[in-house]
Amino acid sequence: MEQFVNLTITDKTDVYSFGMVLFEVVSGKKYMSLITEEEFPIEEKVDPKIKGKIAPESWQVFIDIMQECLKYEVDERPTMGEVEYTTIIEELCHRFSLADIRKSTDNFDHKRLIGYGGFDIGVYKGCLQHDGSDYTVTIKRFKADGPQRWNLFKNEIELLCQLRDPNCITLIGFCSHKKEKILVYEYMSNGSLHRHLQHGDLSWKKRLEICIGAARGLHYLHSGAKRTIIHCDFSSKSILLNDDMEPKLADFSFCRQGAPSLSKPKPIKVDCVTSTSCFIAQEYSRDGTITDKCDVYSFGWVLKEVVFGTGYLIEEVPGRPVEDIIDKNIKRNIAPECWRVIVDIIQRCVQYNPHERPTMGEVELELEHALSLQERADIANTNGDYTLFSKTIIKTCNGEEDSV
């Protein structure tokens, strides 16, 4: 349109033309031959030869794309990448209408808001009908405008459509309507591990079990999918708990895909750090180098929170035995044999040199071993509480003393 009005040509001129082609495809008539007519329901212009063969769901997607492409304002039209992508993801997971999403959240009522993500992402609790049943769901709304928002939305939906693991959150569907980009997940009723650590309401064994589940999830990302997937934003906030207090990994917006999982891992270089976690490996924050060992480093810091509580950084003093800052809610429940394994795992995970960190598969096995030692000790223990007599001072890789 702008090509004739003010002789301006951009890539969005082609998008407009593509919308006209879509109209011809569905109506069998030239769009320009009808544009001078009064407003009419597009359904009245559908080619009779195909009218009875179009599924309502498919029609809604098609008409949304066409209308977006034919916007008068250039900036309101999608890119061709967005046009192509919307048709592809429609085949991978269910598409909800914006009306469904608004209804499920009472029009994004503040009372339905259950959290915030990075980059102004709102997280809501909603109720949607899917496959004939009503589901309580989590709705993630990417509110910020611009390419960053689209990239986060696109990245997360691409990855979650690939994942099939009980320790990773399940994507139910999505909504892409004009500037609204929304993802719909299964609802995790017990919130994040971070919240429970703040409240101090988890037993030591339950913390171990949750860590094992989270380790399995990361191990799957690193070696169980077709390509290595690096989370890049792992923290206790990205470990969510279901009705049975079983953990699932979430927050995949910043994930990166690496080499095929059976091939030799190769570092990924990025121009800038995109993460909301404060537990970022030094090589990532320093020069933008990402490997699976970045997630291992972050996992080590999550183990610190699990053992010492979310406020442990305030109490941490170089040279102070780590036993002095163990969360008082669990300190007397940790068997010495189990404790020695946990301290070793933490120390290895947070090594400065990524090559000295274990794989998540090794971490998973060691945590299972630690839980086994704890359970055996509990059977033999007749005194109730445990006492940790060790005074552990952990040295960092540069030789300086550190309390883990």
**Catalytic machinery residues:** 233
Residue type, 318: P
3-class secondary-structure state, position 110: helix
Residue type, 109: D
φ, ψ of residue 394 to 5 degrees: the values are -100, 135
**Residue 256 and residue 232 in contact, taking contact as beta carbons nearer than 8 Å:** yes
Residue type, 35: I
Find the angle CA(241)-CA(245)-CA(249) to the nearest 5 degrees: 30
**Residue 338 and residue 368 in contact, taking contact as beta carbons nearer than 8 Å:** no
Separation between Cα atoms, residue 181 and residue 122, nearest integer Å: 11
Residue with tokens 């979650």: 160
How many CB atoms within 10 Å of residue 308? Answer: 23
**Residue 295 and residue 235 in contact, taking contact as beta carbons nearer than 8 Å:** no
Provide the sign of the torsion angle of the four alpha carbons 104, 108, 113, 117, taken in this order: positive
**Residue 156 and residue 253 in contact, taking contact as beta carbons nearer than 8 Å:** yes
Continuous segment of H or E residues that includes residue 57: helix 56-69
Separation between Cα atoms, residue 293 and residue 351, nearest integer Å: 10
For 35, counting Cβ atoms within 10 Å of its Cβ (0-12 exposed, 13-18 middle, 19+ buried), the class is: exposed
Beta strand ranges found along 163-302 (DSSP E):
171-177, 180-186, 227-230, 239-241, 247-249, 256-260, 268-269, 289-290
